[in-house]
Amino acid sequence: MSAPRTMCKYIVAVVGQPNVGKSTLFNVLTGKVERVGNFPGTTVAMNIGVRVHRGESICFVDLPGIYGLKAVSLDEKIARDFVIWGDWDAVVVLVDVTTGVSGFHLLAQVLQLTKRVVIALTKWDAVQEQGVEVDIEKLKKVFEVPIVTISALKGEGIESLVDAIVALIQVPKSSYEGLHIDYAPLEPFLTALTEAVKQKAKLRNDITLRGVAVLIAMGDEDLAKRFNIDVKHFEEIARARGVVGGDLEEYIASRINMFLEENIGDAIRLRGRLRKAIAIPRLFQNPITGFLTTFAILFSAVFIAFAINTGFPFTALFELLGQSEVASTLESYTISGLVGIAFDYLKSFVHSTLDYSNPVLASFLADGVIEGVSVVTSFIPLILITLVIMSAIEDSGLGPLMAISLHNFFARFGLSGRAVYPMFISLGCNVPGVMASRAAPDDVERFGIVASASFIPCQARLVVMLFFVGYLLAGRPLLQAMTIVLLYLGGVLLYLITAKLFRRAVFRVKSPSELLLEMPGFKVPSLRVVWWNSWALTKHFIIRAGSVLVLLTAVVWSLTNLSFKGFVADPSQSFAAMTGATIGNAIAPLFNLPPEASWKIGFALLAGFIAKENLIATLAVLTSAEEGGKSVELLGITLPQGLALLVFFTYYMPCMATVATIYSETKSLKLTLLVVAYVISTALVISLVTYRIALLCP
C-alpha cells in the first residue's frame, strides 16, 4: 500500500502548468502539506495535502508544474509516471484560461491518457475582471469531463471542486477512454505503436494505451524504454516521417493545437479583454540600470535579512566606532542574540547540575550535543527570513525581470540570471546561499552553484578579513580597503569560473545557459504561499543538514576534548591539536612558516571549519594575546606570509554548516567531498601565488 493510501480514502493527483496557481490552490485546499517520502525511484520529495470532506479524508498529491507530459527533465518524468502508473483515484488538471489555447496543451495530453479527470479553471476572479468570456458548456462537451471554476485567492469554488472530484470517484463511468485526437496520416503508425504498448506491459485499466503511444510517438524515449520499444528502429517510423514530412513531435503538437483551436478556440474569448499590458519596465530594459536595480533589490533583501537576524552590519559599524557596548546590546536583542542567550542558559544549567558528578558527560551534553542543536537553531531564523524575502520577490513577478537583466552577463559563465540569488545570499551566509541554488533552472546549473557558493566571502569571513587587514596593513586604510574589495571580487570571479568549469568538465554541457521564461505579470505576493514555500525548505534544512551538523558538532567535541589519554581539559593536548599540528606542518613548508606558528595556524584552520568566526578567537587563545590584533603579531609571520594566510583563510573551505547544507542539497557524499577538495586546493593554489607575488614586492 502506498503511503498516501494508508492516510486517506481517496487519492487525487494535481497537475498543472507553471504559474497556473497550483501552490495557492494547495494552500487553500488542504490544511497542511507534508512530505510522505519520495516519488518512487527518485530523490524528489512527494508532497501531500490532506483535506477532510464530509467525513472522508482526501490526499492531494502535488505533482511538479510542467508544460507537457513528455519527459525532458525529472519533473515531467515524475508527473508522467504518476499519472500512468501511480495509485490515484482522480486527476485534477489546473488550467489558466488567460494564457489562451496553449494553456490547454497539458490537459490535452492528460486527457488522451484518461478521462478520470476534473478540470479546474483557476484565477477565475482575474478571468472575470479582465472580461474574458468562457463558454464552459462548450468546453464540457468537447472534453467530456467535469469542469469547475475556482478562485483560490478568494476561496471560491473550492467546495464545488472537491464535490466534483468525489462525485467522479464515487460514481464510476462505464468508460474512461481517453480523448481521441485525429492525427490523420499518422493513424496507422499510432495504431501499431498502441499494439506494441499493449503487448509489453500491464497498465491501470483506466489508462488509455493510445495516450501512451502518442507520448512515445512524440519522442519520449524514456517512456519507450519502459515498454521495451525502440522507437528509432520501429518499422513504421521510416514511413511515418515521410508521411508528415519531418519531425513527428512538431506534427503531433501542431495537430493537438489545431484540435484545440478548432474545438475550443471560440469558447475562450480573449479578444477585447482588459489585460494590463505585460511589458518589461523601462528600468529593467537598459542593461546597466537593470543590472543596478537588480543588485539594489537583492542587496537590500540580504541586508534586511541579516540585520534582523544578527544585527550585522550595524553591530560591526558600532564596533568600528569604538562603541562595543552598544554593539553587544544591539546584538543581544537580535534573533540570533536571543537564541544564543537561551542556549547559553541551557548549557550552564547542564553544567551546574552535572559538573560535580560527571564533568565529562556534562561537557559532552552541554558543549557537544546542546552546542550542535544551538548551531542548527541559530541558522533557522536566518534561512527562514532570507527565503521569505526571496519567495516574496519571486511570487510578485519580479523574479523573471531580474533574471532577464542579468542573463547576458551570466550567460558567459554558463549560468542563467537566476544564479545571482545564491551569489547575493552567500554574501551574508553560505548556508542559505547554497540552498538558494534551487532557483536554478536545471540540475547542472544547480550543482554548479552549490559547488561555487563557498567562494563568496560570507559575513563571518568579512570579520576575519577586517581583522587581518587591520593588523597587517595597519595605517594604510586605502590598501586595506583595496585588499578587501579584491578579496570579494576574487570570490565572485572564482564563483563564476567554477560554475563554468563544472558545467563544462563535470557535466560536459557545452551550450551556454539560455533564457526561456513565462512572464506572469505583477501581483502582490501571497503571504500564505510565500510562507508555505519558505517553511517547507527550512524544514528540509533542519532535518537533513541539521542532523549532519549535530553529528559533526559531536565529532568536533570529541576531537577537542579527547586525546589518547582520555578526556583532557586543555585543548592543546587534544586530538584536534594534533590534527591541527599535522595540517599546519603540512602547509608550513609551502609558506616557510615558523614551527611555533604552524600548529597554531593549523588548529585555527580546523576551528575555522567549525565556524569562520572561531578563527580569530582560536588564534587569540593560542597566542595568549590579550587583544585581538596582537595575535597575528605574536604568530611571528612576515607580511607576505600574512597576506597569503589571509587569502587562504578567506577561501579555503566552507564552514561545517555549509558542508552539511551542500550534502543535504546534493544528497551525495561523493559530490560533497569533491566540492570540498576542489575548494581547498583552489584556495591553496591562490594563496601560494599570493605569497610568491608578495615576496617579489618591496
Partner 1 sequence: MPTPLCNVPPNSVATVIQIDAGPGLKTRLLNMGFVNGVKVKVLENRGSHLLVALEGGLGRVVVLSRGIAMKILVDVQG
Interface ranges with partner 1 (CB under 8 A): 66-68, 70, 72-73, 99-103, 105-106, 218-219, 246, 249-251, 253-254, 256-258, 270-271, 273, 275, 278-280, 285, 287, 400, 404, 407-408, 411, 512, 514-519, 521
CB of 252 to partner 1, least distance (A): 9
CA 470 remoteness from chain centre:
37
65 is in an annotated binding site: yes
Q: How many CA atoms lie within 13 A of 185 on its CB side?
A: 11
Q: How many CB atoms lie within 10 A of CB 268?
A: 23
23 is in an annotated binding site: yes
- In the complex, the smallest distance separating the C-beta of residue 413 from partner 1, rounded to whole angstroms, is 14
Q: Which is nearer to partner 1, 371 or 395 (CB)?
A: 395
Which element (helix H / strand E) includes 37? strand 33-38
Least distance (Å) between residue 269 CB and partner 1:
10
Q: Which is nearer to partner 1, 260 or 576 (CB)?
A: 260
Q: Are 1 and 103 in contact (CB under 8 A)?
A: no
Q: Which of 79, 84, 102, 88 is nearest to 59 (CA)?
A: 88
The answer to whether the annotation marks 64 as part of a ligand binding site is yes
Rounded least distance, CB 262 to partner 1, Å: 12
Q: Which is nearer to partner 1, 252 or 556 (CB)?
A: 252
The DSSP H or E segment spanning 545 is: helix 527-561
**C-alpha–C-alpha distance, residues 130 and 151, integer Å:** 14
Q: Is 30 annotated as a binding residue?
A: yes
In terms of CB distance, is 66 or 383 closer to partner 1? 66
How far apart, in whole angstroms, are the C-alpha atoms of residue 409 and residue 377? 37
- The least CB distance from residue 676 to partner 1, in Å, is 31
Of the pair 182, 514, the CB lying nearest partner 1 is at: 514
Q: How far is the CB of 436 from partner 1 (least distance, A)?
A: 21
CB of 409 to partner 1, least distance (A): 10
Asked if residue 589 belongs to a known ligand binding site, the reply is: no
Outline where DSSP puts E strands in 548-656: 562-563, 566-567
- Residue 340 annotated as lining a ligand binding site: no
Output the smallest distance, CB 70 to partner 1, in A. Answer: 5
Residue that the C-alpha cell 533583501 belongs to = 301
CB of 161 to partner 1, least distance (A): 24
Q: 625 Cβ partners below 8 Å, 6+ apart? A: 619, 631, 633, 634
432 among annotated binding-site residues? no
- Which of 180/275 has CB closer to partner 1? 275
- DSSP letter string over 214-258? HHHHTT-HHHHHHTT--GGG-HHHHHHHHHHTS-HHHHHHHHHHH
Please identify, using beta-carbon distances, which residue of 235 and 514 lies nearer to partner 1: 514
* Backbone φ/ψ region at 641: left (φ over 0), alpha (ψ -120 to 50), beta: alpha
> DSSP for 358-383?
-HHHHHIIIIIIIHHHHHHHHHHHHH
By beta-carbon proximity to partner 1, the closer residue of 373 and 515 is: 515
Separation between Cα atoms, residue 309 and residue 263, nearest integer Å: 56
Shortest Å, Cβ 268 to partner 1: 9
**Which residue, 268 or 577, is less far from partner 1 as judged by CB?**
268
- Which residues lie across from 566 on neighbouring strands? 563
Whole-number minimum distance, CB 231 to partner 1, in Å?
12
Cell (9 digits) for 606: 580546523
C-beta of 128 vs 408, nearer to partner 1:
408
For residue 16, the minimal CB distance to partner 1 (Å) is: 13
Residue position matching grid coordinates 544547480: 446
Distance CA 657, CA 382 (A): 13
Residue 602 marked as a ligand binder = no
C-beta of residue 34 within 8 angstroms of C-beta of residue 44:
no
First and final CA of the chain: distance in angstroms? 75
Is 520 marked within a binding site?
no
Task: Return the number of the residue (106 or 653) whose C-beta is nearest partner 1.
Answer: 106
User: Cell numbers 496557481 label which residue?
Assistant: 21
Residue 17 known to bind ligand? yes
Cell numbers representing residue 295 in the block: 543588485
Distances (CA, A) of 80 to 16, 67, 219, 229: 12, 11, 14, 17
With b meaning 16 or more CB within 10 Å and e meaning fewer, what string describes 181-213? Answer: bebeebeebbebbbebbeeeeebbebbbbbbbb
What nine digits make up the cell of 524? 502582490
Pick 261 or 344: Cβ nearer partner 1: 261
Annotated binding residue 395: no
Annotated binding-site residue numbers = 16-23, 27, 30-31, 62-65
Residues of each annotated binding site for Mg(2+): 27, 30-31
Annotated binding site for GTP: 16-23, 62-65
